[in-house]
């Protein structure tokens, strides 16, 4: 998860804020854009041997951008989403920490209105562990 976060910040130039989803105020605000929250949605552990398990994480990256006046919100949002997707595609084993990481779904928020746009990138991460 830390490596996934590192792909976005400092991996993508200009990203101001990346954190894990908290149950308290993180201090994120409109001034911290573009930014992303990494949400741990679901984890599955499949035991292969007594001392070996294959783990699959489903992660939702909630990302947001803010467009200035005169800027296209969707162009900016799409660029950010593509940048994150490109980083994951370029480093699918998250610096040798995962078996694979792949983007399974991208959803942009139809309710986004200038100046703030939201998108969710669902990522599946698989890794092996000693139970």
Chain residues that interact with another protein, rule: CB under 8 A: 47-52, 99, 128
Question: Is 74 or 127 the residue whose CB approaches another protein more closely?
Answer: 127
Helices (H), 11-126: 73-90
> Are the beta carbons of 64 and 18 closer than 8 angstroms?
no
Question: Is 23 or 51 the residue whose CB approaches another protein more closely?
Answer: 51
Q: Checking DSSP bridges between strand 116-129 and strand 100-108, what pairing results, if any?
A: antiparallel
CA distance 13 to 55: 31
Question: Is 97 or 108 the residue whose CB approaches another protein more closely?
Answer: 97
Question: Is 77 or 94 the residue whose CB approaches another protein more closely?
Answer: 94
Judged by DSSP in three states, 29 sits in: coil
Q: What's the DSSP call for residue 113?
A: B
């Amino acid at each position: 998860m830390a490596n996934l976060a590192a792909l976005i910040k400092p991996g993508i130039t200009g990203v101001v804020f990346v954190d894990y989803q908290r149950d308290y105020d993180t201090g994120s605000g409109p001034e911290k854009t573009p930014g992303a929250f990494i949400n741990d949605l679901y984890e599955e552990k499949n035991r292969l041997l007594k001392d070996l398990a294959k783990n699959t994480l489903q992660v939702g990256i909630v990302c947001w951008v803010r467009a200035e006046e005169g800027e296209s919100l969707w162009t900016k949002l799409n660029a950010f989403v593509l940048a994150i997707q490109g980083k994951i595609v370029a480093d699918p084993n998250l610096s040798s920490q995962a078996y694979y990481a792949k983007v399974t779904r991208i959803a942009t928020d139809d309710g986004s209105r200038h100046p703030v746009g939201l998108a969710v990138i669902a990522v599946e991460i698989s890794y092996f562990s000693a139970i």
